[in-house]
């Protein structure tokens, strides 16, 4: 039984590509959480807060070494997967290094930073798809710039246009949204490191330095203030993705034209036969 279309072999391919689903899989999340913990240990080691050997020891632990079903059961009791994750990783570390693992961080720091890394992978995949789609639409628009096509108004045939013009409209809509990707990427790809109450108190005066080094290790930006309760970044990326989907789905005319072309109906490239006028019944004013 599946509870999400993403987990369904029948429905999943219609929701996400295999690469995108893999980027947001449970194993991928654990892999990114381990990457975050290793980056934190490396940043703290630079400032002498943890032993130099901690980060390499974490990197020797793979996501496949963690018992995913057991972590899921423990997460149901803890309320968040990071708590059992930390305990599981500590059990795999040398005893001398275990006390320094996860120093100064809170569960949300690890969860948010790992999620941001997953989003970064997803945006890379999306960017590659956008480049291919825009190039394909550009070529299609050019190839059909003189192909006659029935224009539509209020869902009905209207003055003729070219099929290339319709494709150019799709291209312009997607290009508008795609142009926002660099700014959205900069906004969302930001590390999270604030500690339990967001003040980095557990790191003392070294907090800002650890944050800068931690973010640099992950290739992420360092926020001016912790964003534990400032979720606008997440909302913005969701709205941007929804805008891209709406640009694709909100034009019934082009959708209908695609269907017409696929079904060889006379909307593209041929004249539509004149429809007979509906016969009018007798006027109610007639004597």
What does the pLDDT look like over 55-64, one tens digit per residue? 999 999 999 9
Whether the pLDDT of residue 269 is over 80: the answer is no
Which residues sit opposite 221 in a β-bridge? 190
Whether the pLDDT of residue 2 is over 70: the answer is no
* 155: number of Cβ within 10 Å: 9
Rounded to whole angstroms, the Cα distance separating 283 from 280 reads: 8
| Residue 211 located in a structural domain | yes
Kindly compute the dihedral angle of the four CA atoms of residues 136, 137, 138, 142, in this order, to the nearest 10 degrees.
110
Task: Specify the pLDDT at position 258.
Answer: 45
| Residue 155 located in a structural domain | yes
Q: How many domains does the chain have?
A: 1
Q: Over the stretch 106-136, which tens digit does the pLDDT of each residue have?
A: 999 999 999 999 999 999 999 999 999 999 9
Task: Specify the pLDDT at position 250.
Answer: 47
What is the 3-state secondary structure of the chain? CCCCHHHCCCCHHHCCCHHHHHHCCHHHHHHHHHHHHHHHHHHHHHCCCCCCCHHHHHHCCCHHHCCHHHHHHHHHHHCCCHHHHHHHHHHHCCCCCHHHCCCCCCHHHHHHHHHHHHHHHHHHHHHHHHHHHHHHHHHHHHHCCCCEEEEEECCEEEEEEEHHHHHHHHHHHHHHHHCCHHHHHHHHCECCCCCCCCCCHHHHHHHHHHHHHHHHHHCCECCCCCCCCCCHHHHHHHHHHHHHHHHHHCCHHHHHHHHHHHCCCCCECCCCCCCCCCCCCCCCCCC
Task: Specify the pLDDT at position 262.
Answer: 45
Mean pLDDT of the chain: 88
Q: What is the mean pLDDT of residues 140-153?
A: 95
Task: Specify the pLDDT at position 139.
Answer: 98
Query: Which two three-digit tokens encode residue 260?
Result: 């017409």
Residue 42 belongs to domain with CATH number = 1.20.200.10
Task: Specify the pLDDT at position 138.
Answer: 97
| Residue 140 located in a structural domain | yes
Whether the pLDDT of residue 24 is over 70: the answer is yes
| Residue 220 located in a structural domain | yes
Whether the pLDDT of residue 253 is over 50: the answer is no
| Residue 22 located in a structural domain | yes
Rounded to whole angstroms, the Cα distance separating 33 from 111 reads: 7
Instruction: List Cα–Cα distances, 16 to 10, 11, 182, in angstroms.
Output: 12, 9, 22
The pTM of this model reads 0.83
| Residue 131 located in a structural domain | yes
Task: Specify the pLDDT at position 13.
Answer: 87
Q: Over the stretch 88-103, which tens digit does the pLDDT of each residue have?
A: 999 999 999 999 999 9
- What confidence category does residue 278 fall into, taking pLDDT thresholds of 50, 70 and 90? low
Rounded to whole angstroms, the Cα distance separating 145 from 96 reads: 70
Task: Specify the pLDDT at position 5.
Answer: 79
Task: Specify the pLDDT at position 15.
Answer: 86
Q: What is the mean pLDDT of residues 43-47?
A: 97
Task: Specify the pLDDT at position 107.
Answer: 97
Rounded to whole angstroms, the Cα distance separating 223 from 106 reads: 16
Provide the domain limits for residue 99. 18-262
Q: What is the mean pLDDT of residues 186-206?
A: 96
| Residue 279 located in a structural domain | no
| Residue 175 located in a structural domain | yes
């Amino acid at each position: 039984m599946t509870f999400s279309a993403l987990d369904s072999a029948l429905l999943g391919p219609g929701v996400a590509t295999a690469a995108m689903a893999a980027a947001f899989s449970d194993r991928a999340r654990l892999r990114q959480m381990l990457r975050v913990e290793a980056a934190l240990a490396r940043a703290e080691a630079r400032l002498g807060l943890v032993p130099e050997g901690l980060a390499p020891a974490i990197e020797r632990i793979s996501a496949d070494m963690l018992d995913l079903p057991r972590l899921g059961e423990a997460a149901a009791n803890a309320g968040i997967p990071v708590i059992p994750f930390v305990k599981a990783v500590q059990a795999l570390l040398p005893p001398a290094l275990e006390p320094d693992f996860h120093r100064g961080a809170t569960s949300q720091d690890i969860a948010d930073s790992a999620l941001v890394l997953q989003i970064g992978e997803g945006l890379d995949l999306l960017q590659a798809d956008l480049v291919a789609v825009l190039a394909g639409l550009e070529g299609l628009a050019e190839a059909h710039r003189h192909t006659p096509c029935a224009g539509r108004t209020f869902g009905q045939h209207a003055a003729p246009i070219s099929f290339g013009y319709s494709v150019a409209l799709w291209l312009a809509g997607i290009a508008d949204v795609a142009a926002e990707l660099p700014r959205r990427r900069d906004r969302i790809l930001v590390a999270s490191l604030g500690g339990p109450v967001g003040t980095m108190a557990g790191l003392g005066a070294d907090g800002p330095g650890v944050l800068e080094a931690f973010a640099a290790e992950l290739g992420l930006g360092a926020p001016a203030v912790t964003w534990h309760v400032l979720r606008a970044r997440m909302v913005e990326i969701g709205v941007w993705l929804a805008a891209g989907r709406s640009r694709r789905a909100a034009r019934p005319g082009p959708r209908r034209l695609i269907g017409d072309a696929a079904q060889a109906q006379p909307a593209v490239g041929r004249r539509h036969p004149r429809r007979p006028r509906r016969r009018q019944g007798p006027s109610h004013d007639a004597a």
